């Protein structure tokens, strides 16, 4: 090997040699940024027919949301334990005013509908007696319903379905769940491309000096894109447990940040996904809502019989047995229709009482390393080969461009 010729070529083309590790560092960074953005963007498919791209996470929104929420409902949240924190008496107290207003309106609407003259014909004392009994019974009915709900919450609320539906409907929120939780990891991936790329560029420099083979640039460009992506992704999660190397501790970055991740994840879940508003909406409109309505209908009808017991013969005689039953069904339906507006008055109390954020933070800290990895790993695992492949292709093309610039 003619080392003298190699040295002369290096002196004559020093700028080419010196640029190699820096260009490799740039390739490393660009491929990392491209891989990161391709995970999230675009939120909706952009292209024609089958040719185009949609962010890996939005494209697999249902699968990723299902995996993440399976972990949450299995290891982080116990719906029955959570809802047992609601005090039925406190809920009834919070809802007393809107319930009394709804009771007055429903009572008058029903009597106007089923027996327009009945209310006017009833003595004032009888009117007050009916309304007083209705108002007095309503909070007790709420307490009873809340106690029954707490004991049977899984019969009327599917927490996983609720969370998945919200995340699939709002793919940008799913992006935020992963992007915000893994912001330092994403930054590390991008910066690691610079460091790894520079080191590979030094090897490329030596290889080019020895071979002058035009394939060196694109091959090393592709290698830089592929290897730096692969290394960065592995270094995020592994090793799961801290290991010592020459006296220096080393642990996967995501594993090491467990306390910080727990706080960020808890904040986002509590503020955007498992909110009291979303929970109430899921209870009222979710796949198990019919069971809630059956529960409410049963309690309302029972309550009506109890409330007007002193004047029931008079009411039944006035409207007829069949229409009396219709009236009870209508009362239950009207109570259900008013529920969304009524229950919003309890949101502030329920948010504090359920304490979703601190519950999630505490539970994340108790996960095994493998379970904890599941908070973020599903975002990468199935499609990470695509991101690595794209990094390799971009690196190869930049390397080929580098050859063209050098040789021409």
Predicted confidence at residue 274, as pLDDT, reads 84
**pLDDT at residue 317 above 70?**
no
Predicted confidence at residue 314, as pLDDT, reads 54
CA trace torsion 55, 59, 64, 65 (10° rounding): 110
Residue range 362-398, pLDDT digits in tens: 888 888 888 888 777 766 666 667 767 777 777 787 7
At residue 204, the 3 state secondary structure works out as helix
- Find, among 166, 59, 139, the residue nearest to 386 by Cα: 59
pLDDT band at 169 (very low <50, low <70, confident <90, very high): confident
Half-sphere exposure of 346 (CA within 13 A, CB side): 26
Predicted confidence at residue 130, as pLDDT, reads 66
115-129, 145-159, 212-226, 239-253: least confident range: 115-129
Parallel, antiparallel, or unpaired: how do β-strands 248-250 and 243-245 relate? antiparallel
Predicted confidence at residue 59, as pLDDT, reads 85
Which of the 8 DSSP states describes residue 241? S
pLDDT band at 217 (very low <50, low <70, confident <90, very high): confident
Predicted confidence at residue 60, as pLDDT, reads 83
Mark 367-388 as b/e (b = at least 16 C-beta within 10 Å): bebeebbbbbbbbbeebbeebb
CA dist 74 and 217 (Å) reads: 49
Predicted confidence at residue 248, as pLDDT, reads 74
**pLDDT at residue 309 above 60?**
no
Output 42 or 284, whichever has higher pLDDT: 42
**pLDDT at residue 308 above 60?**
no
**pLDDT at residue 249 above 80?**
no
Predicted confidence at residue 116, as pLDDT, reads 63
Output 358 or 322, whichever has higher pLDDT: 358
- Find, among 399, 403, 380, the residue nearest to 31 by Cα: 399
pLDDT band at 98 (very low <50, low <70, confident <90, very high): confident
């Amino acid at each position: 090997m003619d080392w003298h010729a190699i040295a002369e070529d290096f002196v004559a083309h020093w700028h080419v040699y010196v640029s190699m590790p820096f260009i490799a560092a740039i390739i490393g960074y660009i491929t990392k940024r491209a891989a990161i953005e391709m995970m999230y963007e675009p939120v909706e498919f952009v292209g024609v027919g089958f040719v185009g791209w949609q962010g890996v996470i939005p494209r697999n929104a249902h699968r990723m949301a299902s995996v993440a929420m399976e972990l949450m409902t299995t290891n982080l949240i116990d719906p029955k334990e959570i809802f047992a924190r609601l005090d039925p008496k406190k809920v009834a107290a919070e809802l007393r005013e809107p319930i009394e207003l709804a009771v007055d309106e429903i009572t008058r609407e029903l009597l106007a509908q089923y027996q327009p003259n009945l209310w006017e014909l009833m003595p004032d004392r009888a009117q007050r007696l009916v309304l007083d009994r209705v108002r007095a019974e309503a909070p007790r009915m709420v307490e009873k319903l809340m106690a029954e709900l707490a004991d049977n919450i899984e019969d009327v609320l599917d927490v996983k379905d609720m969370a998945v539906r919200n995340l699939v409907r709002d793919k940008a929120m799913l992006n935020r769940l992963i992007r915000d939780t893994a912001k330092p990891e994403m930054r590390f991936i991008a910066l690691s491309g610079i460091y790894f790329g520079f080191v590979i560029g030094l090897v490329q420099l030596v290889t080019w000096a020895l071979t002058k083979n035009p394939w060196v640039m694109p091959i090393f460009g592709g290698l830089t894109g592929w290897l730096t992506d692969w290394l960065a992704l592995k270094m995020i999660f592994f090793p799961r447990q801290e290991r010592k190397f020459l006296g220096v501790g080393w642990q996967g970055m995501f594993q090491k940040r467990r306390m910080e991740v727990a706080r960020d994840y808890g904040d986002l879940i509590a503020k955007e996904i498992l909110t009291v508003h979303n929970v109430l909406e899921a209870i009222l409109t979710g796949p198990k809502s019919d069971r809630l309505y059956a529960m409410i209908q049963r309690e309302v009808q029972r309550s009506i019989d109890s409330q007007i017991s002193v004047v029931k013969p008079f009411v039944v005689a006035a409207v007829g047995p069949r229409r009396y039953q219709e009236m009870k069904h209508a009362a239950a339906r009207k109570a259900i229709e008013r529920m969304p507006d009524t229950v919003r008055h309890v949101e502030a109390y329920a948010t504090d009482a359920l304490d979703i954020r601190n519950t999630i933070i505490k539970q994340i800290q108790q996960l095994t390393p493998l379970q904890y990895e599941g908070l973020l790993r599903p975002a990468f695992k199935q499609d990470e080969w695509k991101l690595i492949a794209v990094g390799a292709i971009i690196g190869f093309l930049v390397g080929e461009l580098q050859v063209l610039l050098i040789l021409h």
